[in-house]
Amino acid sequence: MKPYHAIAIQDCGEPLQAIPLDQFARVDPHPYQTLGAPYGEQSPYYLRLSVLEALGEAQRYLQSRRLGWRIQIFDAYRPIAVQRFMVEFTFQDLLRARGLRADQLTAAQQTELMAEVNQFWALPSNNPATPPPHSTGAALDVTLVDEQGHSIDMGSPIDEVSERSFPNHFAQCQDARGQSFHRHRKLLNEVMEVAGFRRHPQEWWHFSLGDQLWAWILQEQEDKGPMVARYGRVESE
C-alpha cells in the first residue's frame, strides 16, 4: 500500500468524459498502446468530467503566461490490466538495462528492483479501497509544448525510473541547463495547481485532482484537515 491508500473514498459518481484531443497536444502514438498494453475497447483519453474541466482551466492559464503553449497529454485513464502490464514491463526493462535475468535474481535483488519500480508505479490493486490513481479517471501524466509544438525539455523523460524524475531534482543546479529544467517543471506545476491539481511527490509529470493521492497531499502536506477522495476506481464507458 501507498500512504495515500489510507484515505477513504466516497465516489461522487461523476462520469468519465472523452478528452477533446483537438484542444490539447498529445503524445502520438500513445506510448503504452504502442507497447501492446491491453486496453481492449477502452481508451486512455478519458478523465472524470470535473477533472477535464480543470485541465482546460490549466491550459488557459498556461496560455496567459506563454502565448501558444499547450499542455501535452502523455497518459490519462488507465485500466487495471494496463497498470499490471506496465508494472511488469518496467520491471523487465530494469532487468534488461542492468544485464540481469529474472530467473537468476536473489530474493533480495527482486525486492530491491520492485521497490524501485514501486517508487513510480502504483500496484495494480483490484481492491476498490486501494485503486491506482490513473484507474480513477482523476490522474494524468502531462508535459508542455511550445507554440510550434516542440516539447519543452524537463530534464528527464516521463516514466524514467531514476532520481531525475523527482520534481525538485534540478532545484539546486547552478548551471543554466539545470536551472532551465527546474523553471519548466515549476511552470508546469504552477499551471496545474492553479486549476486544483496536485503533483505526485516523486514524479514531475503526474497530477491528480480528487483521487486518494490528491486528498492525501492536501491533508498531510498542506494541512487542509481530514480529507476524503471523491473518485475511486471506474470502468471506461
- The string of pLDDT tens digits covering residues 58-78 is 999 999 999 999 999 999 999
- Say what the pLDDT of residue 227 is: 97
N- to C-terminal Cα separation, the chain: 28
Indicate the residue type of 197. F
What share of the chain in percent tops pLDDT 90?
95
Q: Label residue 105 exposed, middle or buried (CB < 10 Å: 0-12, 13-18, 19+).
A: middle
Give the separation between CA 123 and CA 130, rounded to whole angstroms.
9
| Residues 191 and 197 sit within 8 Å (Cβ to Cβ) | no
CA distance 189 to 215: 17
CA–CA dist 59, 85 (Å, integer): 31
> Average pLDDT over the chain, rounded to whole?
96
User: How far is 199 from 206, CA to CA, in rounded Å?
Assistant: 6
Task: State the pairing for strand pair 206-208/198-199.
Answer: antiparallel
Cα–Cα distance for residue pair 128/126, rounded to 1 Å: 6
- Say if residue 236's pLDDT is above 70: no
Task: State phi, psi for 215 to the nearest 5 degrees.
Answer: -65, -40
Q: What is the pLDDT of residue 202?
A: 96
Mean pLDDT of 78-88: 97
229 - beta bridge partners?
Answer: 9
Domain definitions of the chain by residue range? 3-221
Q: What nine digits make up the cell of 135? A: 484507474
Pairing of strands 70-75, 46-48: unpaired
Give the model's pLDDT for residue 235: 77
- pLDDT score recorded for residue 87: 96
- Residue 157: CB partners within 8 Å, gap ≥ 6? none
The Cα 16–Cα 160 span in angstroms is: 28
Average pLDDT over residues 111-123: 92
Task: State yes or no: pLDDT of 101 exceeds 60.
Answer: yes
Which is catalytic among the residues 53, 112, 203, 220?
203
38 grid coordinates: 491491453
C-alpha cell at 86: 506496465
Domain 3-221 has CATH 3.30.1380.10: yes
Q: DSSP for 73-118?
A: EEE----HHHHHHHHHHHHHHHHHHTT--GGG--HHHHHHHHHHHH
pLDDT attached to residue 219: 97
pLDDT of residue 1: 83
pTM of the model: 0.95
Looking at 73-82, 98-107, 158-167, which range is the least confident one?
A: 98-107
Query: Which stretch of 61-65, 106-110, 152-156, 173-177 has the lowest confidence by average pLDDT?
Result: 106-110
* Distance (Å, whole) CA 155 – CA 18: 30
pLDDT greater than 60 at residue 237: no
- Would you call 235 a catalytic residue per the annotation? no
